Structure 1
Amino acid sequence: EQMELEVREIPPQSRGMYSSRMRSYKQEMGKLEADFKRSRIAYSDEVRNELLGDDGNSSENQRAHLLDNTERLERSSRRLEAGYQIAVETEQIGQEMLENLSHDREKIQRARERLRETDANLGKSSRILTGMLRR
């Protein structure tokens, strides 16, 4: 715009030459702007495709990654199942041990009670025998 104003102030005999130059510069500028917009759009499409992986190699790479990840998931699942099975077996063994300990405790308590009864009976017997010996 500034250049157009300058051309208008130039004397009329040389104004035509500068006006035609201005028009050609404007046309060239328009073409350059259009090229710039197209290249920017093409570049953004290229970047988007690169990021989203629209080309054939990336789909093969994605498929390979998916297969690798699937195999990893399957291995991890098997390990988790094995670990869970071990935990269940360990819990069962622990439960059996607690039951055995409970039975053993009951046996020990019954034996202790019999021992106390036997001790009390022996004490009575000892007193009776001592009383009999004194007579």
Structure 2
Amino acid sequence: MSEVFEGYERQYCELSANLSKKCTSASLLDGEQKKQKVTEIKVGLDEAESLIRKMDLEARSLQPNVKAVLLAKLREYKSDLNNLKAEVKRITSTSLNPSARDDLLESGMADALTVSADQRGRLLMSTERLNKSSDRVRESRRTMLETEELGVSILQDLHQQRQSLLHANNTLHGVDDNVGRSKKILTNMSRRMSRNKWIIGGIIAVLVIAIALILYFKLAK
């Protein structure tokens, strides 16, 4: 939730409650006092309208899921502002004499106050519901971020494991190459040993023949 929006929201709720009280008191006045009070109310309405515009701009600048919740709140506040404007028009279009004002106090004013209180109560309940919805949206967003962070962490672990497997695979290839080379060397050594055996055998045979010939000639003499 936007802290800027919440700041404007608090200002509006305080201003709206104050304007509602002023409308109630203005309806009991007459003459210059009434005009002065209505002027004050109109200034307050302009300020309230300005706050609603600021809330609207702030809400529309946020993410779609948060924006939807805030715009729903804003519709309630716009409805409340329209009711205040209608009340001001009603006050400015009527001029009460003292006896009529007394009658209003005794009968109609109680009903008007009740209606205003009911409207304020409905507005507060709607605001509370929207605040709960905002809390759920924030909780869902927090869960989503945590899930996203967990997913990133898992992907990083998988990437590290992949690198480890690639390194192990490269090491195995290196070992395999070394084994192949060693096998070739051993094969060559085996061949050389076989060849050397034949050579040594040949040399021994030649020596044996030579010794035999020498002995033969010596014995023959």
Q: TM-score over 0.5 for the alignment? A: yes
Matched, 1:84 2:162: yes
The list of structure 1 runs, each at least 4 consecutive aligned residues, that deviate by more than 3 angstroms after superposition, is none
Instruction: Provide the secondary structure at the position in 2 that maps to 1:55.
Output: helix
Give the residue type in structure 2 aligned to 1:77: L
What are the equivalent positions in structure 2 for 1:1-135 lying under 5 Å apart? 55-135=133-213
Residues 61-117 of structure 1 deviation map (CA, whole Å, 9 limit, x = unaligned): 100000100100011110000000000000001001100110011000000100000
TM-score (norm 2): 0.36
Unaligned runs of 5+ in 1: 1-53
Give the residue type in structure 2 aligned to 1:85: Q
Q: Which residue of 2 aligns with 1:39?
A: none
- Give the superposition deviation at 1:57: 1.4
Q: Which residue of 2 aligns with 1:26?
A: none
Distance of 1:56 and 1:134 partners within structure 2: 115
Considering Cα pairs closer than 8 Å and 6+ residues apart, tell me whether 1 or 2 has the greater RCO.
2
Give the residue type in structure 2 aligned to 1:65: T
Instruction: Provide the secondary structure at the position in 2 that maps to 1:110.
Output: helix
How many residues align? The count is: 82
The sequence identity of aligned pairs, in percent, is 11
Instruction: Provide the secondary structure at the position in 1 that maps to 2:183.
Output: helix
- Give the superposition deviation at 1:56: 1.5
Distance of 2:142 and 2:133 partners within structure 1: 15
Give the residue type in structure 1 aligned to 2:191: E
Please give the root-mean-square deviation of Cα atoms over the aligned residues, in Å.
1.1
Unaligned runs of 5+ in 2: 1-131, 214-221
Distance of 2:212 and 2:148 partners within structure 1: 95
TM-score (norm 1): 0.59
Distance of 1:122 and 1:64 partners within structure 2: 85
Q: Which residue of 2 aligns with 1:32?
A: none
